[in-house]
Amino acid sequence: MKSSVFFTRGLVKTATFALIAVAASTGAWAGGLESLEQFVKSAHSGKAAFTQVVTAPAKQGQTPRSKTQSGTFEFQRPGKFRFHYVKPFEQTIVADGKTLWLYDVDLKQVTARGQEQVLGSTPAAIVAAAPDVKALEKDFSLAEEPDKDGQQWIKATPKTRDGQLQSIRVGFKPGTKGPELSTLEIQDSFGQRSVLTFTAFEMNAQLPSNAFQFTPPAGVDVLRN
């Protein structure tokens, strides 16, 4: 049981910040790069439900192991977001504009890091900071990919290859108000693959004033690094 728990949590931490890459519907249905541009300019806040399937690299002669998680996501640009993992293990990840908090309920542990240390050139910049595609292109190589499964795709590859993230693929589908995020695929340098599906997204949603506040619960260990 414990090995399964730590397997899941390890994959979650690897994929955590890639979860934040895109989370909204935007503007007119267009090419992938144009849809991304519209998103960065127009998505000031939002909330959605998500399902995440993380698959470990296959070992010789074995079937790849995968884990499924689900939860909710909220964000407010610039620099604030909350991921609440509900199943199978409860975790909360909150960025309040200055500090990134990771709360593992089962371990009774909170990890706190400065956002500038964490976000940098990660996909989180797309929702948390970048004002336009040109700003993103300082850290990512962006390329449109062929339409597939009724979606338009864009691939973002970090220009700095010393991190764990290898690439991100973002799929948009047409919505009533313009392109909507449908799928987010993350590949890391260890061969792990994470696929996120967003549903019930609300563009520029009105969020509670305390949505991105976090106070460590009493009795938990707080690690700062």
Residue/partner pairs of 64-69 with CB below 8 Å, 24 or more apart: 65/7, 67/7, 67/8, 67/11, 69/8, 69/12
Residue given tokens 């850290």 in the structure block: 139
SS3 call for 39: helix
SS3 call for 83: strand
**Is the per-residue pLDDT at 28 higher than 50?**
no
Residue 219 lies in a domain: no
- Which of 6 and 134 is assigned the larger pLDDT? 134
pLDDT confidence of residue 8:
41
> Is residue 15 within 8 Å of 193, Cβ to Cβ?
no
Global pTM value: 0.77
Rg (CA), the chain: 17
The bridge status of strand 109-114 relative to strand 221-224 is parallel
Residue 141 lies in a domain: yes
When divided into structural domains, the chain yields a total of: 1
Token pair for residue 128? 């948390």
Note if the bond before 88 is cis, omega within 30 degrees. Answer: yes
pLDDT confidence of residue 5:
41
List pLDDT tens digits, range 160-211.
776 788 898 988 877 776 677 788 898 988 889 999 899 988 888 899 999 9
* Widest CA span in the chain: 52
Residue/partner pairs of 137-140 with CB below 8 Å, 24 or more apart: none
List pLDDT tens digits, range 108-155.
999 999 987 776 556 566 665 566 778 778 888 999 998 898 888 999
SS3 call for 64: coil
Residue 223 lies in a domain: no
Distance CA 96, CA 93 (A): 10
- Cβ neighbours, 10 Å, residue 191: 12
Highest mean pLDDT out of 25-29, 33-37, 99-103, 135-139: 99-103
Residue 193 lies in a domain: yes
Which range is least confidently modeled, 2-6, 56-60, 158-162, 210-214? 2-6
Distance CA 122, CA 124 (A): 5
Residue 220 lies in a domain: no
List pLDDT tens digits, range 11-24.
444 444 444 443 33
pLDDT confidence of residue 178:
66
Q: Kindly state the helix (H) or strand (E) to which residue 118 belongs, with its residue range.
A: helix 115-118
**Is the per-residue pLDDT at 65 higher than 80?**
yes
The CATH number of residue 92's host domain is: 2.50.20.10
Residue 213 lies in a domain: no
Residue 26: which domain range?
A: 2-206
Q: Let me know the angle formed at the C-alpha of 164 by 153 and 103, rounded to the nearest 5 degrees.
A: 95
CA 117 vs CA 47, 113, 122, 206: distances in Å:
25, 7, 10, 29
List pLDDT tens digits, range 79-117.
888 989 998 999 999 989 899 999 999 999 999 999 877
pLDDT confidence of residue 122:
60
pLDDT confidence of residue 210:
94
